Structure 1
Amino acid sequence: MSLTHSTKVTEPAVATRRRRYRPGSVEILGALLLVGIVFRGPLADLFAAPGMGTWATTFVSICVQAVPFLVLGTVVSGAIAAFVPASLFKKILPERAGLAVPVAGAAGALLPGCECGSIPIANRLMDRGVRPSAALAFLLSAPAINPVVLVATAVAFSSDLRMVWARLIAGLATAVIVGLIWERIGKPEWLTPRRSLAPEGQDARGFGVFLSTVRADFTQAAGFLVLGAIVAASFKVFVPNVWMEHVGSSLALSVVLMAVLAFMLALCSEADAFVVASFSTIPMVGKLVFLTVGPAVDVKLAALQAGTFGRRFAVRFAPLTMLVAVTVGLGVGLVFWGGSLV
């Protein structure tokens, strides 16, 4: 009797544990290649049109320029996640918030990492006793001002290298200002960081962690790069030049547009400079706002932060970061390139 009852209970439980098949990135890529092979004739005719030829050229050029930096960034980020113990950060950070926040922000310039990778690092720092304001300053600065990002920016804006210095100053200032504000207004109940899955007192490290981190970061970042390249190429071809010239003629409109695009596109910071550089009608101040907002706050980061630190944190931290990033990017841009909002 008990055996029959056990079977009735177990079978539905086993059925509910069965996972539905979800295609991975390799399967999706294979399907796209198959579609390209089957419909190569119609696709060739489509891209033979003058407008689509320009679209394809813009799309490919952005991807080709950005991919090497994307690979380098994910490799360095994976090495940090696998071989640098999180306890090192606590040892080098001062105890006082007034010093810890700027030092943590400056550390982002030395330790490359993508936006997604900086969130678990910040979580690990808090898990090791680092004050939240300092961990959050590092979270914002690491993807914005690390060496890989700055070199990529120099390549993308080789005609005006002031963008490199402007991005460095704006990214660091955003991280420090947000960290100091959070030190003053942040409440413990707003922040509920997810506990680390690593054994107590240890860091998850090793070559296996390195490979899995690089694979996951590159797969995710490459997808957003392709999306960004598609949007940039589409803007160049399908949006009338009159519209873009109108937006570009107004600094206020360009700042708003670039801030919204940076939030929605969610590009990887190693590749965003190549995308925004293609918007030829947008003034440099607007482009700097894009490069300041993107690594700090976007739709993807808001979701990841809510999952890692809690929804109460995300609904407060994201608007604060957006406000500071836009203000700082605009201010630094006006110092470097001048201009007026009216």
Structure 2
Amino acid sequence: MNAYRGPLIVIAFSLAGMAFSLTWGPPLQLEGLFEAWASITVAIVMQAVPFLVFGVLVSGAISAFVSQGLLRRITPRNDFLAVPAAASAGFLLPGCECASVPVAQSLIRRKVPEAAALTFLLASPAINPVVIVSTVVAFQGHPNMAAARVVASLFAAIAVGWAWVLVGHRVPMVGALARFGHSHSQGHSHGQAGASTWEAFRAAALHDLTSAGGFLTLGAMVAALIKVTVPGQWFETIGAYPLVSCVVMALLAVALSLCSEADAFIAASFTQISPAAQLVFLVVGPMVDIKLMAMQYGAWGRRFVARFAPLTFVAALFMGLAVGAVISP
């Protein structure tokens, strides 16, 4: 518990400060752009925190109480059929990005086909029930966004999985950490060896909350900064070029490395961007970002990341554009 005491104290004080500010006003009177930035940051974080907390609790429960052999038992032996089956399992076995790489490693060790395990890695954080509900709440004025996100993310995950069936055998999956004699998953808090299931649940939930909470706060701060400093005419300019705006939002998703349970509130805050560009942000983020690439490098090495990350980015961007063209007015 001592390892998590510091981050938990920071989170507790932050939430208490936000609640105080919303109830009695800010203790320091801010002016101008700084006041607007602080207000927008607090609003985004307060909207997203309940879904983030619920999401990490569900993810921790899955890590602690659901056997990772379950997916292996229900996965078809045929690689091409195993890919859509693994993608569909993301609806039933939700997980956060923090857990996705270690879980995929475990599935591969349990003889689940690599393509199926990687498909589950992409689909689970993107299409699980918590993400769907948070997207519905964030985009109350655009009810089709949640369905569009599920469809685009599911198709992108399956496309990457099928592509990996064809080319994956050419890519060695030997991680940087493995070359030093240990695995990333051995140091990860999910499913610690020798720990009780309740201890594993507590450790997994605390790890995900402290990690994802930091990225959420950073993402909210960046989104608020963009809203108060970037002129509205700039958004109108890139909005006139749909492809450019979608690529910009895709790159922003990669850079921010947000938790999928909360990223919908960040995307919804960009009100001057088209629904298609917002959708691209939601599809790309859970599948490829800086945090995930770092974890994948540790698990499977540089050559894997050099091939898998661009493949995933292109598939997610393309599916987001295709489905976004349907939902955009």
TM over 0.5: yes
Matches within 5 A, 1:28-107: 44-45=28-29, 47=30, 49-107=31-89
Report the Cα offset of residue 245 of structure 1.
1.7
Report the Cα offset of residue 52 of structure 1.
2.4
Q: 1:166 to 1:189 in 2, by over 3 A?
A: closer
Q: 1:161 to 1:212 in 2, by over 3 A?
A: same
Deviates more, 1:130-139 or 1:234-243: 234-243
Aligned mates of 1:271, 1:82 — CA distance in 2: 22
Provide the secondary structure at the position in 2 that maps to 1:109: helix
Q: TM-score, normalised by structure 1?
A: 0.84
Q: 1:133 to 1:224 in 2, by over 3 A?
A: same
The residue aligned with 2:259 is 268
Report the Cα offset of residue 248 of structure 1.
2.1
Aligned mates of 2:27, 2:241 — CA distance in 1: 38
Give RMSD over aligned pairs: 2.6
Deviations 1:297-318 (A, max 9, x none): 0011000001012222111100
Deviates more, 1:233-242 or 1:259-268: 233-242
Deviations 1:235-276 (A, max 9, x none): 111111111221222212211110110000000000000001
The residue aligned with 2:237 is 246
2:245–2:277 Cα contact (<8 Å) kept: yes
Q: 1:122 to 1:163 in 2, by over 3 A?
A: same
The residue aligned with 1:13 is none
Question: Equivalent pairs: percent with the same residue?
Answer: 48
Answer yes or no: is 1:289 the counterpart of 2:280. yes
Q: 1:152 to 1:30 in 2, by over 3 A?
A: closer
1:107–1:138 Cα contact (<8 Å) kept: yes
Aligned mates of 2:105, 2:305 — CA distance in 1: 14
The structure 1 residue matched to 2:105, chosen from 112, 116, 123, is 123
> Which residues of structure 2 form unaligned runs of 5+?
16-25, 188-192
The residue aligned with 2:130 is 148
Report the Cα offset of residue 291 of structure 1.
0.4
> Which residues of structure 1 form unaligned runs of 5+?
1-22, 34-41
Deviations 1:95-124 (A, max 9, x none): 011211000001001111111111111111
Q: TM-score, normalised by structure 2?
A: 0.87
Report the Cα offset of residue 44 of structure 1.
1.8
Deviations 1:142-180 (A, max 9, x none): 000000000000000011111011000011011100000
Provide the secondary structure at the position in 2 that maps to 1:98: helix
Deviations 1:165-209 (A, max 9, x none): 1000011011100000001001265213656649xxx89661001
Report the Cα offset of residue 54 of structure 1.
2.0
1:247–1:254 Cα contact (<8 Å) kept: yes
Aligned mates of 1:308, 1:320 — CA distance in 2: 18
Matches within 5 A, 1:277-316: 277-316=268-307
Aligned mates of 1:317, 1:54 — CA distance in 2: 40
The residue aligned with 2:20 is none
Report the Cα offset of residue 31 of structure 1.
10
Report the Cα offset of residue 74 of structure 1.
0.3
Structure number with higher relative contact order (C-alpha < 8 Å, ≥ 6 residues apart): 2
One-letter identity of the residue aligned with 1:269: S
Q: 1:185 to 1:86 in 2, by over 3 A?
A: same
One-letter identity of the residue aligned with 2:162: L
1:285–1:329 Cα contact (<8 Å) kept: yes
Q: 1:32 to 1:100 in 2, by over 3 A?
A: closer
1:81–1:205 Cα contact (<8 Å) kept: no
One-letter identity of the residue aligned with 1:278: S
